[in-house]
């Protein structure tokens, strides 16, 4: 496994060559969500269409899913999807572009896990691993959390795993190596109960 630290230094284990082979060619996957505005789905579609202006080309788009909102604030259900993109942007520049797209669409960070007009999460960047640094979750307060890869919630979130499976049925978690079907099978029933595919237009 090859680990990229926040200072861009690289750590490689004894099995780096085999791990690189295992995860080489992995995609770049981004989760999108929204639950504000007249049409959250339209917001996601527009955000995807805007991405080429920011240096990334969408290559695959999952189905759209309706997801019951969780968190301390009562709020509408989310619309979620996952896409695979191609880009020449290095990982930190890609994250900067994703934050810029959120801002273009009016995202203002007022509370953690609150309603949002657009949320873009980098799930996986070709199997790269970036360990967490500093506070996470609610302890991090407002503003972007330092990048962690794979996304720290990817293995526990049905609204990420189900759409990710649509476009990457063979995906494996870059750290644990767990197959996506195994991760989905281990989701609590309550986690999957509030998620439903939205009929295609």
Q: Write the pLDDT tens digit of every residue in 147-179.
A: 899 999 999 999 999 999 999 999 999 999 999
Nearest partner of 131 among 153, 146, 113, 112, judged by Cα = 146
Residue 181, pLDDT > 70, answer yes
Helical H runs in the chain? Answer: 16-23, 40-50, 91-104, 158-167, 180-185, 189-193
Between β-strands 119-125 and 10-12, what pairing exists: parallel, antiparallel or unpaired?
unpaired
- Choosing from 116, 157, 165, 172, the catalytic residue is 116
Q: Is 121 a catalytic residue?
A: yes
> What total of structural domains would you count in the chain?
1
User: For tokens 């795993």, what's the residue?
Assistant: 161
56 DSSP 8-state letter: E
Domain span at 94: 2-197
Residue 51, pLDDT > 80, answer yes
R_g of the chain, CA atoms, integer Å? 16
| pTM for the whole structure | 0.82
> What does residue 138 show for φ and ψ, rounded to 5 degrees?
-60, -30
Q: Is 107 a catalytic residue?
A: yes
- Choosing from 22, 41, 100, 107, the catalytic residue is 107
Position 110 scores a pLDDT of: 62
Position 55 scores a pLDDT of: 97
- Choosing from 84, 119, 165, 172, the catalytic residue is 119
Exposed (0-12), middle (13-18) or buried (19+): which is 153, by Cβ within 10 Å? Answer: middle
d(CA 195, CA 2): 34
Tokens linked to 182: 């195994």
d(CA 158, CA 169): 14
CATH number of the domain bearing residue 103: 3.30.70.560
Position 174 scores a pLDDT of: 94
Position 75 scores a pLDDT of: 87
* Residue 69 binned pLDDT confidence (cut-offs 50, 70, 90): confident
Q: Is 19 a catalytic residue?
A: no
- Choosing from 84, 121, 124, 172, the catalytic residue is 121
Residue 123 near residue 164 (C-beta atoms within 8 A): yes
Nearest partner of 128 among 7, 19, 14, judged by Cα = 19
């Amino acid at each position: 496994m090859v680990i990229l630290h926040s200072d861009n230094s690289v750590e490689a284990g004894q099995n780096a060559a085999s791990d690189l082979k295992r995860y080489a060619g992995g995609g770049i996957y981004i989760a999108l969500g929204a639950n504000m505005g007249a049409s959250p789905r339209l917001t996601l579609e527009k955000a995807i269409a805007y991405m080429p202006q920011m240096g990334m080309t969408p290559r695959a788009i999952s189905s759209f899913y309706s997801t019951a909102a969780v968190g301390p604030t009562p709020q509408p259900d989310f619309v979620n999807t996952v896409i695979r993109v191609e880009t020449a942007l290095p990982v930190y520049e890609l994250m900067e572009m994703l934050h810029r797209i959120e801002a273009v669409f009016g995202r203002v960070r007022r509370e953690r896990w609150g309603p949002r007009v657009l949320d873009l999460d980098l799930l996986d960047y070709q199997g790269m691993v970036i360990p967490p640094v500093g506070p996470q979750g609610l302890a991090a307060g407002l503003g972007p959390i330092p990048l962690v890869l794979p996304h720290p919630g990817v293995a526990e979130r049905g609204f990420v795993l189900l759409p990710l499976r649509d476009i990457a049925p063979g995906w494996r978690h870059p750290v644990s190596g767990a197959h996506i079907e195994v991760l989905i099978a281990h989701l609590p029933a309550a986690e999957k109960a509030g998620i439903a595919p939205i009929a295609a237009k």
